[in-house]
Amino acid sequence: MADYSKTIKIRAEHVTITQSLRPSTLLRFLQEVSIEHTEELGMPRQFTLDKGLLWVVAKQHIEILRMPRYDETIKINTWPSKTMHVLFPRTYEIFDEQGNLIVRGTAIWALIDINTRKMVNPNEHGIHIPDLSLQREFKIPLSNKIPLELENDTMMEARYSLCDLNGHVNNTCYLDIAEDKIPIDFLKSHELKLIDIKYTHEVPVGTKLPMKFGFFDHSYYFVNEAFALQLGY
């Protein structure tokens, strides 16, 4: 079987005040199954973390037909496509208890050196992830179309609580940072349909960065030198 599957029960700590799955938790679920599948394919931490290599996400594109809700049980399927030199593409599908597809997405992963923080060639480290796509097409927009007229300015701080074992803001937390800038009434009355995010570089703990954001054509956009994010509604 090419796909890796995981069943998850949506609990209270996973959802927002509207009882819908928190977007940052959605990304966390997808990243967890990615790592689990990679380990199952014979590339556990002994080949990566223990040798000073870190898995990082470079790009994610998630289309939401319906967000999972509190007390639901969902099934996540994932599979890798053909490695693109130093980039590892991966696809995701989420199904509800009736077997309906409710979320689909893609991501591009890479490996960086823990000391230099630069991307490494996986072939030089014996890292190999097979193509299990079974000729299923991999599609992801490589560039983010960020409007120029983002009128709001704010600061983003890499607080201790937002940072992970890599010493930087966990990429899933960018969605929490973004949602905290959106009016609550808007979040309560609109359903998230799209997450498109490109990560430019890490934000080490304690760092403060200026960030611009705004609403344009049914989407909120957030951008600074570390990432570019579109949340479509």
Beta strands in 84-225 (DSSP E): 88-95, 101-113, 152-157, 194-199, 208-216, 219-223
What value does the mean pLDDT take over residues 70-93? 97
Classify the phi-psi angles of 37: left when phi > 0, otherwise alpha if psi is within -120 to 50, otherwise beta: alpha
Predicted local confidence at residue 1, as pLDDT: 55
Residue 142 has pLDDT above 80, yes or no: no
**Is residue 9 assigned to a domain?**
yes
CA distance 166 to 58: 15
In sequence order, the β-bridge partners of residue 154 are 211
- For residues 19 and 113, membership in a common domain is answered with yes
Matching residue, tokens 């951008």 = 223
The domain that contains 187 carries what CATH number?
A: 3.10.129.10
What's the pLDDT band for 141 if we cut at 50, 70, 90?
confident
Helix (H) or strand (E) holding 189: helix 184-189
CA distance 34 to 28: 10
Q: What is the DSSP string of 126-191?
A: T-------TT------SS----S---EEEEEE--GGGB-TTSBB-TTHHHHHHHTTS-HHHHHH--
**Is residue 140 assigned to a domain?**
no
Least confident piece of the model among 63-67, 182-186, 199-203: 199-203
- For residues 50 and 109, membership in a common domain is answered with yes
Structural domain for 170, as ranges: 152-232
- For residues 118 and 213, membership in a common domain is answered with no
- For residues 17 and 91, membership in a common domain is answered with yes
Residue 23 has pLDDT above 90, yes or no: yes
- For residues 8 and 121, membership in a common domain is answered with yes
Q: How many domains does the chain have?
A: 2
**Is residue 138 assigned to a domain?**
no
What value does the mean pLDDT take over residues 7-35? 98
**Is residue 14 assigned to a domain?**
yes
Helix (H) or strand (E) holding 59: strand 53-64
- pLDDT tens track for 84-99: 999 999 999 999 999 9
**Is residue 144 assigned to a domain?**
no
Given a contact cutoff of 8 angstroms between Cβ atoms, the answer to whether 92 and 137 are in contact is no
- For residues 105 and 188, membership in a common domain is answered with no
Predicted local confidence at residue 35, as pLDDT: 94
- For residues 183 and 218, membership in a common domain is answered with yes
Q: What percent of the chain has pLDDT over 70?
A: 100
Q: Whole-prediction pTM value? A: 0.94
